[in-house]
Structure formats: structure tokens, C-alpha cells
């Protein structure tokens, strides 16, 4: 299993931050997921080996955090918040709109591998509800129209 | 440690600082319920059943995670606390299937008990239950997910206790589930600790599930018949067509030396007892074939032939082989029978450790053998050779948990990277066969160090290790059968120089130590007294043959040469175990007592169906020297105990049984005929019985009569009978033993059993075989994947 030099550098540095090796697991998983796209069996086995954990322990941690995934996702992961503030400002309709537009449901991925859709809990953007997060970028004060434009832009970016 | 005073329910309670509130309450006899809290496992605080009211704290607190502090005032029995506990039970029952009438745990279920105590029979929730079919995770572990209450005991005992880490928790919140390490099945040591520790019926045992209910069994706590660690296993027995069937083995009362622990063999491998190939009738060879016969016919024939051979050719023409899985009483009686009735010292057994050398090395020294409990409490341990995880699961548990809970220092020296190195403060890998040299090096022979060196172990590291060990007061030195003869002397020499150091010699079978202590040696009597120096045995038994007898290989040679005319094998299968030419004994009259038609039994002239250690009473001595009671649990009609058969053969030979078994004595009153020094001269045994407050045994078939004699005559066995009968282990010592004798080290043949094998017994255990098969299948699959 080979990671990028950047990953290796971050991993080595991270180890110096904690008293025990296993503590670096969560950030490391996030780095690995950003690099590979998801946490494959191979990644799990590799990291378990490096941190003296069993594969099962690594899986336990992954399954606890909803931001970590063991299944491949689209290039752009569209996360629509449906918690109270967003809900009151039309998040449910927004989510339904996304479902129709992308032709996929919660946790689905488009056949071209470009988009995944997820209904998520609060992302801390209540002041600008309804909000959605695509990968690490926030999109706020959304309406179905505005969402279309956001998605179209990503589509353009992804197919270039 | 400083004492802390607290008040619980108005009662003053004092406990050492650092004590958890739940333990302090327990100590004061106040019950605080809990599911997730389990002594000696890490704290979880998951079930919220142990909520109590602590003064000056705003909310109810979990007693299992609260450390007591001076002046703390606690109430455990208020309406608020009751209500809190009741709602916890209600939540747990929310998705619990309530299939108690068919659940294995029904009747022994902690959730059931709590529901009865706190009553949450009515639920505010009316949601549909989230059902999931039960899953088989291994041949012995089943998981019924809806019954699980997520206390995580199984996860912790598997990881922390066993160092296996095969169970985990996946997902979070209401979707949390217990998950096995291999997706849909377990790859583990199959110890079954997770099942035992499960407070409900979520984890159930493949061997027992849906077979019976706890209240329909009789529970007998006895000593395990597999390895030499001597765990207590509680056998659940039930009446069946052929006697009493053992349906369950477990560790419910935790009162043995094994505490919480039991491995796969103690828990599941009782099933050999009901194997369909079990012999239930005596067999006599007629016209070349083994033919069913009556007991009378068999005993008469054996008695006649043994008497003939003894009369015509003398005792030296008869060989006797004993067992490492029969009781001390069987073994003592067998060697006494050989020496007194047959008139021969030709007696041996399957040796797996050099106890005579240990006795010789310890002779005249103060007591320094370690007990199984010592291993859990010693501040430091040195392990030389062996692989306890596979061969001595309890010992490995004691060492592992001593390190975890008491921060003991473990030093491991092995030729292989054994699993216990993970707990070791220092691990030295030495070349295979170098263990003896290590012993010599430890004892001060610096030239021996050369044999220990390789790329991982240097001269300096060896010297540093020795220095370190010399400073470890109360060190327990544990060594495998790699260390024999003079090397044992070296280990003892090294240990003698360390204050409080103790030694522990590892043998392989349930009563290997007992067989050695009871004198199944051609040159040693019980207690390692030499046959040439029979002393009190000579007096008591009315003569002991003085010539050293034949070892087992010598018996084989003698049989081949036609000199050994008769051979008596009790619970031993040397032909199967040592690969000896089965025709070696074709000129001898061979009698075999066994459970099965083993490789040895098939060539016998008479085969007597024997009861196993789960079907008789007596005592076992584990490898440490801890003496424990063996209690009769199962029964298979048509078998007899080895003890009874030996006595019946002596009877058939016309021997006066009172000279063999001290029964029926001690019932005579002293009417004043004897006084002073003379009293007791007439019947020492009767006087001893009276002094010990024991009942005279009234039957020649009562093993306790021989235990009386063992306690009276075998050094180290004069332990408290009261404690023994109460089910406690009693450590025997070697300090007062005879001088032992140097044995040929080649005669020690390690059993080479692993976690899932157990000599001849294991071959007839369906559970062990299914686990072995499963593991082979898995490793074959992994091999394919790796290719």
C-alpha cells in the first residue's frame, strides 16, 4: 500500500503530537480518505498495521464517524443539512430537489461517479440556512435554483 | 493504602482509597446493580444501572465509575434511584425480544433478575422490535443480536483479558452492534469467555444452546481433565438413557483457581465422554478377536494370568503403565498394586516434565514452589520456553492479567516469538534448544552464553537480563519441559539466590504432576523416595521390591525379547502416542483399561471399559502442585472406575484387600488395652484417622481411603482435608520430598498439544475437532488469498 509523500509527511509529523500511537488514527483516516476517496480494506489493514491495532478496531472507529466511509463515493459529496434551522427554511424540499436532479437518494452515487448525496446533521451554518456542504466547501442560503447552479458548476469542474 | 470513610444508606463504610463506590457498597453488603461493570475490566459507564444519589452532587452518579472520597454520603435505595433504574430496564426491554422461554440464559439472566427487582413490565414504547436472525460466528459461538444490551463486557474480556481483540463495537447510538473480527465470523482462541460473561442470552454456546434449562441440570464443580493447569469447571449434568450426560461446562461460580477464566477445553471438550465409540463392556480376546464378556469372566482371567506370571516368572516379568489423566488415588493405588501385589517396580507413565529432578533440586531447601495463584500476584515473572497461550491457557491468563492489573514485570525467553511477548517487559529470542544453556548461564556459567546468541540476542543483553533478574525479589520462574535434569538444578540454584523467588515446572496433562508425585516411576516411590530407600513404605506395605524396575522403553525391549510376560496399561495409549511397534507385546498377556479402543487397546488380550475423570471422584495435582478435588459428574453405564478395577484384580489374585486399601479401619474402640507410646503401634492408620477427625472409609472401592494413606505417607500432601473438601485448592510442597533421582532426559516426551488438541481425549471430542477443522479451512482460504 503506497500513499503520497504528503500523506507520509503528515503521518510522521502527527505521530509526534500524541503520547500513544493509536491516537493518530482519526486524523490519519481522514487524510487517507481524502487521498484514496474512501477507506478500502487495504487502507484499513495498512493503518492497523502501522498503529498496532487490529483491523476490527479500525473498522469500529470508522463506523462510529459518519464522515468516514468504507464505500467509494462520488467525486463531489453533496451533504444537505436537514436539522432544525435548515429544515425550517426549506431543507427538506432542497434535499428532494437534489434527489430528483441527481437521480439518486440518500447515500447514493451517480452512475458517472461524479456526485454522491447525503442527508446530514447540523453542519454549523444555521445563520445561513438552508446550507449544504460539498466536500469541504460550504454553500449557503440555498434555494432549488441556487442549488442547480452550484451542482452545474461542479459538474463542469468534474467533466473538464 | 489510606482508608477512606463514607456513609452508604446511613451505614458507615470504610474502604481503601481508590476503591470504586460500587465495590465499596458490595463490600458492605449493599447491592448496586450493574450490567456493564465487571471487576478487573476497564470501566465502561454504559448501562446506567448503578446510578446512586451522592450528597452535594446535583444528578444521580454511576457508582461504577465513582472513586470514593472521605466523607462521601451515598443513598442507593431512594424512590429517585429506583425510578432511574426502572427506566433503564424499560429502555433495555424496548428492543429485547422477550423470548425468555426459549433463551439459554432464561433462569440465569441478569436482565431477567433486574426486571424482577425493579419491575418495568409495562412499557411506554410500542414500536415494532428490530429483529435480526441469530448468527453463527464459530463452531462454538452464536450471536443473537436483538438480545444484546450492549454492556461491552464481551468486547473487553476478549481484548483486555484474553489479548485476542476479536470483538468490537460498530456504529453508534441505537445502531451500535457487537461485531466479530472477520466480518461474519470469529477468528479467535474460542475460549468462550464472551459467552460466560454475557449477562443475557446474546452470546450462546454451540455446545449447549437449546439443549436444556439451567434448573433442569445438576451442577458439579470439578477439576478439568485436559491440560495441567487445573481449572475448576462446573459441569451441568442431566439424566439420560445411559446414565448421566454432561450437557454443559462453564465457570459459573468463579470459585476456582481460574477465577473468571476457562478455555475451550474446559468449557466444551467434555463431549468425549459421550462419544459413540465409548467402550461399555469388557472385551476378551477369543480366537484372535476381542469379544464382549462379563466383568466376572474378565477379572477372573486377569487375576489368574497375573498370578501365574508372578508365580512362575516373578514380578520382573510384569510391566505396568499408568496415566496422567487418572486421579492421584488411582495412581497411588496402581503403583502400590504393582509393588505390593505384582511384586515389581516395572512401572512408568508418559512423562512430560522432569519432576524428579525438581524434587532433587529442592530437597532440603525451604519451600519454593509457586502456586497458580502466586503467578497472578508475583511482582515479577520469568518464563523460559513453553508457549503458555497454547499449552497452559490459565497460566497465560494469570501472567497476562498480572501484568495488566498489577503492573508485574514479565521477562520472556523463548526460541519463538510467542504471544506472551506482547505483555513482556523484555523478550529475548534465543536459538531453539538453548533453554538449558540459559539456565546454566543464569546460574553463573558465563561460558554458556555463546549458545544463546543470534542477531537479536547479544552477550550484553543476556548479562543485562541476568543482572535485572537478580534484583527482582519474589520472582516466579516458570519453565517448560525444555529444562530438564541438571538444568533444573541450575534454575533452582539461580532462584535460591533471589529473596522470595519461586519456581514452577510445566508438565502437559491434567494429572502429570500427580502421576509423578504418586511414584509412577521404576526407581521412585510416592514422594520421590528411592526404591532402594523405601523406609516407611517398606514398613507400611510389608516390603517393597528393592531392584529398580524397567522404564517404559525398557519394558518394550523386554517384551520383544519375550521376558515381559504380562503388561497392565491403565489409561495409557503408548502405542498411539509414541509410535511403538504394535507387535512388540504380542508375546505378552496385555490388559488395557481405557475409554476407547485405542491403538494400544486393540492389541490387548483383555480390555476393560474405564470411567474418565469426569465420572469419578478423587484428587488431581496440577503442574504447580495445587491439590484439588475431582468430583463425579457424568456417568456411563457399563464402565467402572480405574480404582475399582485395580482393587477387583487384586481381589481376583487372592490378595488381602485390607493390605492394599486402608478401609474399614479405625472403627475399633480403645478399651484401655493399649496406653501411652504403645497406642497407635497397632494401627497407625486408625490413629491418624482419629487425629485428623476423619471417618473410617468402609468400602475398598472408596478412593478417599487411599487419599487418607496419601495424606499420611506422601510428603507435602498433609494439607487441610476440610479446605480440600470445601472445593479449595491446597498447595502441596516438595520441600519434604525424597531425594528424587536423575532420570534419562530422553524419557520426557512433550505432548505437543495446542489450544484445540488434547491427546487421545481430544481425538474423541467433536467440538475440538470441529474447531480444528474450521481453523484449517480458514487458514487454507487465507493461503489461497495470499497466493
Q: For the domain that residue A139 is a member of, what is the CATH number?
A: 3.40.30.10
Q: Is residue A71 part of a domain?
A: no
Q: Is the same domain home to A56 and A84?
A: no
The pLDDT score that the predictor gives to residue B681 is 52
Give B173 to chain A, closest Cα distance, Å.
9
Kindly give the parts of chain B with pLDDT less than 50: 671-672, 680, 785-787
With CB atoms and an 8 Å threshold, state whether B171 touches A55: no
Residue B168 with chain A: CB contacts under 8 Å: 54, 56-57, 59-60
Distance set, CA B352 to CA B68, B355, B391, B592, B711 (Å): 50, 9, 12, 21, 25
Q: Is the same domain home to A104 and A139?
A: yes
B761 in Cβ contact with B278 (< 8 Å): no
Q: Sign of dihedral through CA atoms B66, B69, B72, B76?
A: positive
Distance set, CA B270 to CA B274, B323, B570, B759, B766 (Å): 8, 18, 20, 14, 9
Q: Is the same domain home to A80 and A107?
A: yes
Q: Is the same domain home to A88 and A50?
A: no
Of B165, B166, B171, which has the smallest distance from its Cβ to A63's Cβ? B171
Residue A64 with chain B: CB contacts under 8 Å: 170-172
Query: Domain ends where: A26, A41, A64?
Result: A64
Q: Which residue in this structure is represented by grid cell 450471536?
A: B143
Mean pLDDT throughout A86-92? 96
Task: Report the side by side order of strands in the sheet with B283-286.
Answer: B289-292, B283-286, B606-609, B589-594, B566-570, B318-321, B347-348
Identify any residues that bridge with B758 across adjacent strands, giving them in sequence order.
B760
Q: Is the same domain home to A12 and A58?
A: yes
The pLDDT score that the predictor gives to residue B666 is 61
Q: Is residue A70 part of a domain?
A: no
H helix runs in B188-313, sequence order: 193-197, 264-268, 295-313
Q: Is residue A30 part of a domain?
A: yes
Q: Is the same domain home to A80 and A147?
A: yes
Q: Is the same domain home to A95 and A116?
A: yes
Searching chain B, which residue's CA lies closest to the CA of residue A52?
Answer: B422
With CB atoms and an 8 Å threshold, state whether B165 touches A64: no
Of A54, A56, A64, which has the smallest distance from its Cβ to B171's Cβ? A64
A140 contacts chain B (CB < 8 A): no
Residues 62-91 of A with CB under 8 A from B: 63-64
Q: Sign of dihedral through CA atoms B634, B638, B642, B646?
A: positive
Residues from B contacting A (CB-CB < 8 Å) are 165-172, 179-181
Of B165, B167, B172, which has the smallest distance from its Cβ to A64's Cβ? B172
Of A54, A55, A59, which has the smallest distance from its Cβ to B170's Cβ? A59
Q: Is residue A23 part of a domain?
A: yes
With CB atoms and an 8 Å threshold, state whether B179 touches A55: no
Query: For the segment B18-43, what is each residue's pLDDT rounded down to a tens digit?
Result: 999 999 999 999 999 999 999 999 99
Give B182 to chain A, closest Cα distance, Å.
8
Of B165, B171, B172, which has the smallest distance from its Cβ to A54's Cβ? B165
B588 in Cβ contact with B566 (< 8 Å): yes
Query: For the segment B314-343, what is each residue's pLDDT rounded down to a tens digit?
Result: 999 999 999 999 999 999 999 999 999 999
With CB atoms and an 8 Å threshold, state whether A56 touches B172: no
Q: Sign of dihedral through CA atoms B527, B529, B530, B532?
A: negative
Query: For the segment B454-491, what is each residue's pLDDT rounded down to a tens digit?
Result: 988 999 999 999 999 999 999 999 999 999 999 999 99
Q: Is the same domain home to A19 and A94?
A: no
Give A67 to chain B, closest Cα distance, Å.
12
Whether cis (ω within 30° of 0) applies to the bond prior to A130 is yes
Rg (CA), chain A: 18
Q: Sign of dihedral through CA atoms B444, B445, B446, B448?
A: negative
Q: How far apart are the first and last CA of chain B?
A: 58
Query: For the segment B669-695, what is each residue's pLDDT rounded down to a tens digit?
Result: 554 455 555 554 557 787 788 788 888
Q: How far apart are CA B334 and CA B660, in angstroms?
A: 10
Query: Domain ends where: A20, A38, A64?
Result: A64
Residue B167 with chain A: CB contacts under 8 Å: 56
The pLDDT score that the predictor gives to residue B783 is 58
With CB atoms and an 8 Å threshold, state whether B172 touches A60: no
Query: For the segment A101-117, what is each residue's pLDDT rounded down to a tens digit?
Result: 999 999 999 999 999 99
Q: Which residue in this structure is represented by grid cell 459538474?
A: A155
With CB atoms and an 8 Å threshold, state whether A56 touches B169: no
Q: Is the same domain home to A43 and A109?
A: no
Q: Is residue A51 part of a domain?
A: yes
The pLDDT score that the predictor gives to residue B667 is 54
Q: Is residue A21 part of a domain?
A: yes
Beta strand pairing call for B380-384 and B177-180: unpaired
SS3 of residue B150 by DSSP: coil
Give me B639's grid cell.
Answer: 464402565
Percentage of residues of chain B with pLDDT beyond 70: 97
Give me A69's grid cell.
Answer: 466511509
Q: Is the same domain home to A52 and A100?
A: no
With CB atoms and an 8 Å threshold, state whether B168 touches A59: yes
With CB atoms and an 8 Å threshold, state whether B181 touches A56: yes
Query: For the segment A13-52, what is each residue's pLDDT rounded down to a tens digit?
Result: 999 999 999 999 999 999 999 999 999 999 999 999 999 9
Which helix (H) or strand (E) is A116 found in, with range?
Answer: strand A115-120
Phi, psi of B729 (to 5 degrees): -80, 150
Q: Which residue in this structure is represented by grid cell 544453556?
A: B437
Q: Is the same domain home to A55 and A80?
A: no
* Beta-strand runs (E) in B112-242: 135-136, 141-143, 167-170, 177-180, 203-205, 218-223, 232-240
Q: Is residue A155 part of a domain?
A: yes
Q: Hey, of A55, A57, A59, A60, which one would you mutate to test binding to chain B, going by the most B CBs within 10 A of its CB? A: A60
The pLDDT score that the predictor gives to residue A160 is 80
With CB atoms and an 8 Å threshold, state whether A59 touches B179: yes
Searching chain A, which residue's CA lies closest to the CA of residue B177?
Answer: A60
Which helix (H) or strand (E) is B382 found in, with range?
Answer: strand B380-384
Of A57, A63, A64, which has the smallest distance from its Cβ to B165's Cβ? A57
Share the mean pLDDT of chain A: 94
With CB atoms and an 8 Å threshold, state whether B169 touches A60: yes
Q: Which residue in this structure is represented by grid cell 468504507?
A: A70
Give B425 to chain A, closest Cα distance, Å.
17
Give A64 to chain B, closest Cα distance, Å.
5
Residue A56 with chain B: CB contacts under 8 Å: 165-168, 179-181
With CB atoms and an 8 Å threshold, state whether A54 touches B169: no
Q: Is the same domain home to A120 and A54?
A: no
Query: In order of start, what are the domains of chain B with their CATH numbers?
Result: 3-77 (3.10.20.740), 90-205 (3.30.70.20), 355-505 (3.40.228.10)
Q: What is the 3-state secondary structure (H, E, C) of B619-643?
A: EEECCCCEEEEECCCCEECCCECHH
A140: containing domain: 76-159
B308 in Cβ contact with B588 (< 8 Å): no
Give B34 to chain A, closest Cα distance, Å.
25
Give B212 to chain A, closest Cα distance, Å.
34
The pLDDT score that the predictor gives to residue B787 is 47
With CB atoms and an 8 Å threshold, state whether B168 touches A64: no
Q: Is residue A69 part of a domain?
A: no
**For chain A, how many helices (H) and strands (E)?**
7, 4
Q: How far apart are CA A122 and CA A84, in angstroms?
A: 8
Searching chain A, which residue's CA lies closest to the CA of residue B183?
Answer: A56
The pLDDT score that the predictor gives to residue B680 is 45
- What total of structural domains would you count in chain A? 2
Amino acid at each position: 500500500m503506497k500513499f503520497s509523500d504528503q500523506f507520509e509527511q503528515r503521518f510522521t509529523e502527527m505521530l509526534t503530537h500524541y503520547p500513544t500511537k493509536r491516537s493518530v488514527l482519526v486524523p490519519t483516516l481522514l487524510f487517507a480518505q481524502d487521498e484514496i476517496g474512501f477507506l478500502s480494506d487495504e487502507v484499513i489493514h495498512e493503518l492497523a498495521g502501522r498503529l498496532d491495532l487490529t483491523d476490527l478496531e479500525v473498522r469500529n472507529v470508522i463506523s462510529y464517524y459518519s464522515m468516514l466511509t468504507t464505500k467509494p463515493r462520488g467525486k463531489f459529496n453533496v451533504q444537505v443539512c436537514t436539522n432544525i434551522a435548515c429544515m425550517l427554511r426549506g431543507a427538506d424540499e432542497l434535499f428532494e430537489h437534489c434527489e430528483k436532479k441527481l437521480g439518486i437518494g440518500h447515500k447514493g452515487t451517480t452512475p458517472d461517479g461524479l456526485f454522491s448525496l447525503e442527508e446530514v446533521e447540523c453542519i454549523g451554518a444555521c445563520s445561513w440556512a438552508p446550507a449544504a456542504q460539498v466536500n469541504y466547501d460550504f454553500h449557503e442560503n440555498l434555494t432549488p435554483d441556487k442549488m442547480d447552479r452550484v451542482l452545474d458548476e461542479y459538474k463542469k469542474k468534474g467533466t473538464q | 493504602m489510606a482508608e477512606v470513610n463514607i456513609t452508604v444508606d446511613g451505614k458507615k463504610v470504610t474502604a481503601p482509597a481508590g476503591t470504586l463506590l460500587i465495590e465499596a457498597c458490595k463490600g458492605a453488603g449493599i447491592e448496586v446493580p450493574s450490567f456493564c461493570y465487571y471487576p478487573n475490566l476497564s470501566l465502561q459507564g454504559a448501562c446506567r444501572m448503578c446510578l446512586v444519589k451522592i450528597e452535594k452532587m446535583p444528578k444521580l452518579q454511576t457508582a461504577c465509575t465513582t472513586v470514593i472520597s472521605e466523607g462521601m454520603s451515598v443513598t442507593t435505595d431512594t424512590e429517585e434511584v429506583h425510578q432511574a433504574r426502572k427506566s433503564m430496564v424499560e429502555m433495555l426491554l424496548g428492543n429485547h425480544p422477550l423470548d425468555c422461554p426459549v433463551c439459554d440464559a432464561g433462569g440465569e439472566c441478569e436482565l431477567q433478575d433486574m426486571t424482577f427487582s425493579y419491575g418495568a413490565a409495562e412499557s411506554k414504547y410500542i414500536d415494532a422490535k428490530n429483529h435480526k436472525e441469530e448468527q453463527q460466528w464459530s463452531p462454538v459461538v452464536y450471536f443473537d443480536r436483538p438480545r444484546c444490551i450492549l454492556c461491552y463486557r464481551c468486547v473487553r474480556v476478549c481484548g483486555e483479558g484474553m489479548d485476542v481483540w476479536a470483538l468490537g463495537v460498530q456504529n453508534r447510538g441505537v445502531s451500535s452492534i457487537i461485531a466479530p473480527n472477520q466480518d461474519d465470523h470469529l477468528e479467535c482462541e474460542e475460549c468462550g469467555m464472551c459467552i460466560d460473561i454475557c449477562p443475557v442470552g446474546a452470546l450462546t454456546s454451540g455446545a449447549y444452546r437449546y439443549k436444556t434449562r439451567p434448573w433442569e441440570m445438576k451442577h458439579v464443580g470439578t477439576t478439568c481433565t485436559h491440560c495441567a493447569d487445573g481449572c475448576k469447571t462446573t459441569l451441568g449434568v442431566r439424566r439420560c438413557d445411559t446414565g448421566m450426560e454432561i450437557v454443559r461446562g462453564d465457570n459459573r461460580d468463579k470459585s476456582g483457581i481460574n477465577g473468571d477464566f476457562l478455555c475451550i477445553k474446559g468449557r466444551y471438550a467434555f463431549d468425549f465422554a459421550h462419544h459413540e465409540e465409548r467402550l461399555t463392556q469388557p472385551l476378551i480376546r477369543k480366537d484372535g478377536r476381542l469379544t464382549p464378556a462379563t466383568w466376572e469372566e474378565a477379572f477372573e482371567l486377569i487375576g489368574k494370568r497375573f498370578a501365574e506370571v508372578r508365580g512362575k516368572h516373578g514380578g520382573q516379568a510384569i510391566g505396568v503403565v499408568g496415566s496422567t489423566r487418572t486421579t492421584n488415588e488411582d495412581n497411588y493405588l496402581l503403583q502400590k498394586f504393582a509393588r505390593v501385589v505384582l511384586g515389581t517396580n516395572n512401572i512408568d507413565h508418559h512423562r512430560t516434565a522432569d519432576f524428579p529432578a525438581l524434587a532433587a533440586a529442592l530437597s532440603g531447601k525451604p519451600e519454593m514452589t509457586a502456586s497458580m495463584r502466586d503467578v497472578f500476584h508475583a511482582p515479577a515473572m520469568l518464563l523460559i520456553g513453553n508457549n503458555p497461550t497454547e499449552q497452559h491457557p490459565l497460566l497465560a491468563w494469570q501472567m497476562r492479567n498480572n501484568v495488566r492489573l498489577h503492573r508485574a514485570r514479565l521477562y520472556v525467553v523463548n526460541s519463538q516469538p510467542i504471544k506472551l511477548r506482547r505483555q513482556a517487559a523484555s523478550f529475548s529470542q534465543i536459538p531453539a534448544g538453548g533453554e538449558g544453556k540459559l539456565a546454566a548461564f543464569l546460574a553463573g556459567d558465563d561460558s554458556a552464553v555463546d549458545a544463546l546468541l543470534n542477531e537479536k540476542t547479544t552477550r550484553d543483553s543476556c548479562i543485562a537480563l541476568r543482572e535485572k533478574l537478580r534484583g527482582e525479589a519474589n520472582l516466579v520462574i516458570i519453565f517448560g519441559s525444555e529444562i530438564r535434569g541438571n538444568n533444573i538444578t541450575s534454575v533452582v540454584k539461580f532462584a535460591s539466590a533471589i529473596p522470595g523467588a519461586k519456581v514452577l515446572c510445566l508438565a502437559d496433562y491434567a494429572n502429570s504432576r500427580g502421576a509423578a508425585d504418586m511414584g509412577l516411576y521404576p526407581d521412585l516411590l510416592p514422594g520421590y523416595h528411592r526404591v532402594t530407600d523405601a523406609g516407611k513404605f517398606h514398613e507400611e506395605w510389608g516390603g517393597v521390591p528393592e531392584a529398580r524396575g524397567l522404564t517404559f522403553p525398557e519394558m518394550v525391549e523386554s517384551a520383544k525379547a519375550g521376558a515381559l510376560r504380562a503388561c497392565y496399561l491403565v489409561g495409557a495409549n503408548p502405542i498411539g502416542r509414541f509410535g511403538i511397534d504394535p507387535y512388540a507385546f504380542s508375546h505378552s498377556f496385555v490388559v488395557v483399561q481405557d475409554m476407547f479402543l485405542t491403538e494400544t487397546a486393540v492389541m490387548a488380550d483383555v480390555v476393560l471399559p474405564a470411567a474418565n475423570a469426569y465420572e469419578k471422584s478423587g484428587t488431581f495435582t496440577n503442574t504447580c502442585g495445587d491439590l484439588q478435588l475431582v468430583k463425579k459428574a457424568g456417568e456411563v453405564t457399563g464402565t467402572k472406575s480405574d480404582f475399582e478395577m485395580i482393587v477387583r484384580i487384586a481381589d481376583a489374585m487372592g490378595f488381602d484387600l485390607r493390605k492394599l486399601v486402608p478401609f474399614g479401619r479405625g472403627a475399633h474402640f480403645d478399651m484401655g488395652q493399649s496406653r501411652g507410646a504403645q497406642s497407635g503401634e497397632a494401627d497407625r492408620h486408625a490413629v491418624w484417622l482419629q487425629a485428623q477427625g476423619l471417618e473410617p472409609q468402609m468400602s475398598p472401592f472408596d478412593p478417599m481411603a487411599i487419599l487418607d494413606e496419601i495424606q499420611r505417607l506422601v510428603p507435602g500432601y498433609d494439607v487441610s482435608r476440610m479446605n480440600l473438601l470445601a472445593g479449595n485448592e491446597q498447595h502441596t510442597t516438595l520441600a519434604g520430598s525424597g531425594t528424587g533421582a536423575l532420570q534419562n532426559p530422553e524419557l520426557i516426551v512433550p505432548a505437543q498439544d495446542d489450544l484445540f488438541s488434547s491427546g487421545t481425549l481430544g481425538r474423541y471430542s467433536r467440538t475440538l475437532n470441529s474447531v480444528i477443522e474450521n481453523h484449517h479451512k480458514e487458514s487454507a482460504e487465507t493461503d489461497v488469498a495470499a497466493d
